[in-house]
Amino acid sequence: MYRSNTCGELRIENVGQKVTLAGWVQKVRKLGGMTFIDLRDRYGITQLVVDATAPAELIETASSLGREFVIQVVGTVVERQAKNAKMATGEVEITVECINVLNKSVTPPFTIEEESDGGEDIRAKYRYLDLRRPPLQRALALRHRLAQEIRSYLDQQGFMEIETPYLIKSTPEGARDFVVPSRMNPGQFYALPQSPQTFKQLLMVSGYDRYFQIVRCFRDEDLRADRQPEFTQIDCEMSFVEQEDVLNTFEGMMRQMFKNAIGVDIPNPLPRMSWYDAMDFYGSDKPDVRFGMKIHDITSLAQGHGFSVFDSVEYVGAIAAEGCAEYTRKELDALTEWVKRPQVGAKGLVYIKCNADGTFKSSVDKFYTPEEVKAMAEAVEAKAGDLVLILCGAKRKAQTMLGVLRIEMGNRLGYRDPKVFAPLWIVDFPLLEWDDETQRFYAMHHPFTAPKPEHEKWFYSDKKEDLERVCANAYDFVLNGTELGGGSIRIHNADMQQRMFEVLGISKEDAEYKFGFIINAFKFGAPPHGGLAFGFDRVCALFGGQETIRDYIAFPKNNQGRDVMIDSPSQIDQTQLDELMLDIRPLEQN
Ligand code: ASP
């Protein structure tokens, strides 16, 4: 037996026991002839002591130990003189009788402790060492716990875990596919799935009425902050259900995950908000409802007073930032520059200071009487001491900018505590989204989402305004300003699916070539069905109170999509290329 206990296990009750421990040497300290060793494994750290009176050979071995040596020790648990309340094992130490060096280590390139002194790149290169650090071990332990909760809940609810293929067919709609050349079919390519969407729907056609999978998905996107080219989804689908059934089932799953993994009770039932309200009041389809600061439409109050900036736009909206009336000229200028950054995109910022003495001071005082300024401030529910921030433009665009500004002010005001959880469902999404650039509709969720039955009449209309009005039984699960998952009730009828492709400007031939299999499957008795998928990496990160998903993935890629540890992607041999019948064009010189 290599060990009788882990390094996180021994307590005062164990005093007097003879134990065998194994682990990594975190630190060796000498103190007046005694040698102290911190021994670490993923369960914790235990202090080992080699007494000054120990045999010379043992003292010598103890002194020769370096950081990250792997050792096995036999010794007795004793009560510590100087207890350490910060450590779970801090009341005891082990008086060592024997040390067996199981393996040496070269000096690690950074400290392997709670906080490391290593930069991101070096830690990524030595990910296997970074993974020895407690914060990462806690992150992966949380991920494991959540995965177990998901499996146990869904199993109890009668879901079957079924795997779907990774080598599939390229159907670029949405993100770009990763493709894999086929040696056995020269000139042809597989694609890696962006999600198992069509397969899970086919499983419904096959009668597996409750399916789930914790599954890897692949999207070849430019990696905006905190995205990974391969990521994990909790993917689910159910037959003979309405939206209500899906929401109840997965709210239940989330409730169990919150309770059992992090001891948090979430409301029952969860709040729901329509997509339209989310946009109107929060300027985002993933509102952070941990705080108010709602957006108010003040168009009618702002227009018609000779201020041409407001008079020439569709919409004027505002938020009230609590206690910010004391912002200085300089701070207001900086905030104005901030909203003008391309990430926000505003042309300028108008403000009203609601002074503590009940007076108002705005940046557009010359166009409005004090009463008119007051009316605008009141419309935004601003109190004395608040700062009203006003943006304008096309309605949805201006609301989105106000949404970004609201989050910024929420951050500044400390309203976004990662330990506070405010989950909700966003429902009633529009089915389609018009894109001015390409002059076509795109599916807001994906092309398999069904229109609401009561909106079908508009779905079959050729008028753009009608199509824009069609809503879907589509839903997103949103937590603290992040979309953690989403899904919809699906189309299960071949003709309606054809119509959807037609609306999306996909020709009959193209639809047949790319999606013929699913249109055909729907002709063989497809049941009504719906489902959703959660982004598992992000679920883990938010449950862990973190914003970045990288710590919750054992071997993630960097922002360039590279795994710097194994140095991938990389070139392949000419023989491999020949087998695949591929030629690499020389990179163009610029
Ligand atoms: N497959 C969808 C996605 O990846 C989720 C769903 O509709 O179930 O977003």
473-492, pLDDT tens digit by residue?
A: 999 999 999 999 999 999 99
Of how many residues is the chain composed? 590
Look at residue 174 in the predicted model and tell me its pLDDT: 72
* Tokens at 53, concatenated: 């009176």
Q: Ligand 1 centroid to 240 CA: how many Å?
A: 18
* Tokens at 515, concatenated: 């999606």
pLDDT digits 0-9 by tens, 91-125: 999 999 999 999 999 999 999 999 999 999 999 99
246 pocket-lining for ligand 1 (C-beta < 6 Å)? no
Indicate the average pLDDT of the chain: 96
Whether the per-residue pLDDT at 88 is higher than 90: the answer is: yes
- H helix intervals, 328-380: 329-340, 370-379
Q: Which atom of ligand 1 lies closest to the CA of 488?
A: 7
Phi, psi at residue 286, to the nearest 5°?
A: -135, 65
Q: Which atom of ligand 1 lies closest to the CA of 487?
A: 7
User: Of all protein residues, whose CA lies closest to atom 7 belonging to ligand 1?
Assistant: 487
Confidence of residue 226 (pLDDT cuts 50, 70, 90): confident
Cβ(72)–Cβ(3) under 8 Å? yes
Q: Ligand 1 centroid to 532 CA: how many Å?
A: 5
Mutate to test the pocket of ligand 1, among 177, 197, 492 (most ligand atoms within 8 A of CB): 197
Confidence of residue 37 (pLDDT cuts 50, 70, 90): very high
Q: Ligand 1 centroid to 533 CA: how many Å?
A: 5
532 pocket-lining for ligand 1 (C-beta < 6 Å)? yes
Whether the per-residue pLDDT at 216 is higher than 80: the answer is: yes
Whether the per-residue pLDDT at 509 is higher than 60: the answer is: yes
Q: What is the percent of the chain where pLDDT is above 90? A: 95
204 pocket-lining for ligand 1 (C-beta < 6 Å)? no
Distance CA 42, CA 89 (A): 13
Confidence of residue 589 (pLDDT cuts 50, 70, 90): low
Average pLDDT over residues 323-341: 96
Distance CA 177, CA 313 (A): 40
CB atoms under 10 Å from CB of 303, counted, come to 16
Q: Which atom of ligand 1 lies closest to the CA of 233?
A: 4
H/E segment holding residue 539: helix 536-543
pLDDT digits 0-9 by tens, 361-370: 999 999 999 9
Whether the per-residue pLDDT at 590 is higher than 60: the answer is: no
Q: CA of 492: how far to CAs of 309, 408, 496, 523, in Å?
A: 49, 42, 8, 9
Q: Ligand 1 centroid to 576 CA: how many Å?
A: 35
213 pocket-lining for ligand 1 (C-beta < 6 Å)? no
Q: Ligand 1 centroid to 402 CA: how many Å?
A: 28
Distance CA 383, CA 354 (A): 7
Q: Which atom of ligand 1 lies closest to the CA of 237?
A: 8
Confidence of residue 171 (pLDDT cuts 50, 70, 90): confident
CA 388 to chain centre: 31
Average pLDDT over residues 15-44: 96
197 pocket-lining for ligand 1 (C-beta < 6 Å)? yes
pLDDT digits 0-9 by tens, 511-565: 998 899 999 999 999 999 999 999 999 999 999 998 789 999 999 999 999 999 9
CA nearest to 383, candidates 455, 287, 293: 293
Q: Ligand 1 centroid to 393 CA: how many Å?
A: 32
Distance CA 186, CA 581 (A): 6
Whether the per-residue pLDDT at 175 is higher than 70: the answer is: yes
Q: Ligand 1 centroid to 477 CA: how many Å?
A: 12
Distance CA 146, CA 259 (A): 11
DSSP 430: B
Q: Ligand 1 centroid to 98 CA: how many Å?
A: 57
The answer to whether the Cα torsion of 394, 338, 424, 200 is positive or negative is positive
Look at residue 318 in the predicted model and tell me its pLDDT: 98
531 pocket-lining for ligand 1 (C-beta < 6 Å)? yes
Look at residue 172 in the predicted model and tell me its pLDDT: 63
Q: Ligand 1 centroid to 233 CA: how many Å?
A: 9
486 pocket-lining for ligand 1 (C-beta < 6 Å)? yes
399 pocket-lining for ligand 1 (C-beta < 6 Å)? no
Distance CA 89, CA 91 (A): 6
Average pLDDT over residues 375-381: 97
530 pocket-lining for ligand 1 (C-beta < 6 Å)? no
Cβ(320)–Cβ(281) under 8 Å? no
* Tokens at 512, concatenated: 């047949």
Q: CA of 382: how far to CAs of 153, 357, 463, 572, in Å?
A: 45, 14, 42, 63
487 pocket-lining for ligand 1 (C-beta < 6 Å)? yes
What pTM does this model have?
Answer: 0.94
Q: What is the C-alpha end-to-end distance of the chain, expressed in Å?
A: 63
Distance CA 481, CA 128 (A): 32
Confidence of residue 440 (pLDDT cuts 50, 70, 90): very high
473 pocket-lining for ligand 1 (C-beta < 6 Å)? no
Whether the per-residue pLDDT at 89 is higher than 80: the answer is: yes
Q: Which atom of ligand 1 lies closest to the CA of 490?
A: 7
Look at residue 547 in the predicted model and tell me its pLDDT: 79
Look at residue 297 in the predicted model and tell me its pLDDT: 98
Look at residue 97 in the predicted model and tell me its pLDDT: 97
Q: Which atom of ligand 1 lies closest to the CA of 532?
A: 8
Average pLDDT over residues 63-87: 96
Confidence of residue 337 (pLDDT cuts 50, 70, 90): very high
User: Of all protein residues, whose CA lies closest to atom 8 belonging to ligand 1?
Assistant: 532
Q: Ligand 1 centroid to 478 CA: how many Å?
A: 14
